[in-house]
Structure formats: C-alpha cells, structure tokens
A and B are shown apart, each in its own frame.
Chain A
Amino acid sequence: MTLDHETRYIVLAPDCTMTPDQLVRTIHTIDADVIVKETCFGAVISGKTEAVRKVLTEVRKMDPTRIYSKVRGFPVGDQRRCRAHHGSRPGFAQLEKEWKDLTMVEKGLQCLERGEKVPPIKKKGKMPVKDLKTVCEEACP
C-alpha cells in the first residue's frame, strides 16, 4: 500500500515442472536486491517493491499458468510466523487448500489462452424444502 517494500509468496502449482529449489536458484540469478527463502510450495521473497515485481515478472515467464503469487504481511523468517522458531501459521490451512486447487485454476487459464469455449455450469441453488424434509426424516425417524 503506502510502504516502499513488500514480501511475496511465489507459489508453484502442484503439477509445475519446476521445483522450489530450481525456483530459488533462478531467483538468485536475477539481478535484484531481494531476500529469498525456499518453502515447500515455492518461495518467499522480500525487498523493495520494484525489485520484488522484477523478480516476479522474470519468474512468471518460465511457466505463466503454473506460477502464482500474493503479498504477505509478515517479513521473511519473522519469528512470530517462522516454524523454525515455533511460530504459529494460522494461514497455512488456507494456503494449502488453494495450492491444491491451483491445478484447476491453471486449466482455466490454459483454456483462456487457447480460446476454448467455457463449459456451461449450473448455478448452485439452495436445498429444496422437500429434500430437507427427507434428510430430517431420515435423521430423526
């Protein structure tokens, strides 16, 4: 927002051909003043906003539909969040779930790239009262 520096997660989708180790090595070869930490899902990078954006742009070129990113509030290796210092990771359940679902999002992006027609989907509605009654009667006969 108003700060001149940021921390970012770089997340590799589960079927990305690149490993977190290769990702970190690639980031080290880019001429940008950032701190990098390898994680199980990719990497966390921190530095001046321009440097972080430069790294992200370069890294994304390698596999655009399988490399994702978002900003992180806490800096790299922060003791309140880093597991090495017994920090808590309250957001990990969410990150893990979204990481697993990136395979689906990736298919969506590839579908757009190829200009394919999107399959029609039915809007999820509320459960009809009749069905709810059946469930209630089954549970409490």
Chain B
Amino acid sequence: MKVLIVPPNSLILFDLVERFGHEPLSVMAVLQEKIESKEIESPPINVTVDDVKKGLKYAAIEVPSGIRGRLAIYGPLVDIAEAAIIMEDAPFMFGCVGCARTNEMMKLLIRKRKIPLLELDYPANEDEAKAMVAQIKTFLEGLVK
C-alpha cells in the first residue's frame, strides 16, 4: 500500500515503511521528477503555472504563495495515499520542510481523507524508539493490501 510519511522527507519513516513491505510516499521522489523536468530553469526553486493551479486545489488564493507552492507538491501525495504515518514534533521540521502552516494543513488534508492513520511522537529516548518501531510495525502489518 502507498503510505504517506510526515515529515515527508524522514529517513527513519521512509526506511521503516519500506522495510515492513509498503511503498512510502515521500517528497524526494516528487522532487526528482521536478528536478529532471526540462520545464524548470533552476529547480526546485521555480514553480510552473501548473504548480500554482495544483496549489489552488488545496488552499485558497489568499493563502501565502509559499504554502500553496508546498501544497502543490504535498497535496497530490495526500490524494494518492492509502494510509499515513504522522510523526509529531520532529526537531528538524525547519528548513526545506519548515513551514509550520503547510505542515498543519497537510495533516488536516490527511485527516479529512479518513484513511488509516498512525500518529506518534518523535522518539526522545530508547524506550520511546522501541515503542515507535513496534507501533509502526503493528500498524503496517494491519494494512490490507
């Protein structure tokens, strides 16, 4: 099954989802397509007219362009996701995935789709990590292909 991961570029989640036999939906694969597209001059900073249109599907015109631009990438992933894992309070949620409003909006879009969803906290110690891995395994094994 296609499992969307949040943070969308997380190494830990990507690896665990793949390890337990599902297809992780991440932002890297989408960016690869954009980077290799001839349409964009200096990727991935530029957006195309199509991206703006895609962003409008997920957020209103008043929403800042940064959020709409990000949602143009995240939104289609949410649309095709069959399940999702959200890891809250990841300490690296700044930089290229650092828009808090976009992250909130993405979580809202996921919850509105009513797909199987696992929400957990970023582990702070070994016990929490053990619990996280066990929860992810149980969740992924429970998904019917």
Contacts and interface: CB of A to CB of B under 8 A. Distances in A.
Given A105-B129, A112-B134, A70 B35 contact: no
Interface residues of B, number: 43
A58 interface: no
B91 interface: yes
A82 interface: no
23 contacts: A1-B30, A1-B32, A9-B11, A71-B26, A72-B32, A73-B28, A73-B30, A73-B32, A80-B43, A93-B92, A93-B94, A93-B95, A94-B9, A101-B123, A101-B129, A104-B125, A104-B126, A105-B133, A108-B129, A111-B134, A112-B133, A112-B137, A124-B121
A26 B77 CA distance: 35
Chain A contact residues: helix, strand, loop or mixed: mixed
B143 interface: no
Given A71-B29, A105-B12, A105-B123, 15 more contacts: A70-B26, A71-B14, A72-B28, A73-B27, A90-B95, A94-B9, A99-B11, A101-B123, A101-B129, A104-B125, A108-B129, A108-B131, A111-B130, A118-B134, A123-B121
Given A9-B11, A98-B10, A98-B12, A111 B133 contact: yes
Given A70-B28, A73-B35, A118 B12 contact: no
